[in-house]
């Protein structure tokens, strides 16, 4: 299905929120009454994570914990987590095992 068709047939709401804001997450999840969470939010820069490890942990770990907590609190029992190849660092050989 093309993006435009998906938008026309699927009700989507965009929220500009920080996954580190636990209360905001809980409110959004409670209001939406969704049955599935597709979690794509993360700080992905490896260089940034080395320069600012506390911030990266706060976003990626605490933020994900907040999203999982909001799922549990609001009764969402399907959680899809996606990552990127950035977690592998500087790959020198393919395929990556």
Determine the CATH number of domain 17-84. Answer: 3.40.50.720
Domain boundaries, the chain: 17-84
What is the pLDDT, as a whole number, of residue 45?
A: 84
pLDDT tops 60 at residue 86? yes
Q: Which residue carries 């506390």 as its tokens?
A: 54
Q: What is the pLDDT of residue 10?
A: 73
Give the start-end residues of each E strand in the chain. 36-39, 78-81
Alpha-carbon separation of residue 83 from 13, 16, 26, 33, 44 (angstroms):
23, 20, 23, 25, 9
Closest by Cα among 87, 82, 86 to 39: 82
Alpha carbons 69 and 12: distance in angstroms, whole number: 22
At 4-44, the pLDDT tens digits run: 666 677 777 778 899 999 999 999 999 988 889 989 888 88
Report the pLDDT averaged over residues 50-62.
94
What whole-number percentage of the chain has pLDDT above 90? 45
- The verdict on pTM exceeding 0.85 is no
């Amino acid at each position: 299905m093309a993006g435009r068709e998906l938008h026309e047939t699927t009700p989507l709401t965009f929220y500009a929120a920080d996954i580190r804001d636990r209360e905001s997450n809980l409110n959004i999840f409670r209001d939406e009454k969704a049955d599935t969470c597709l979690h794509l939010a993360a700080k992905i820069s490896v260089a940034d994570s080395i320069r600012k490890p506390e911030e990266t942990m706060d976003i990626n770990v605490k933020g994900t914990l907040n999203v999982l907590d909001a799922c549990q609190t609001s009764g969402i029992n399907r959680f899809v987590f996606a990552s990127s190849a950035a977690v592998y660092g500087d790959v020198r050989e393919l395929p990556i095992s």
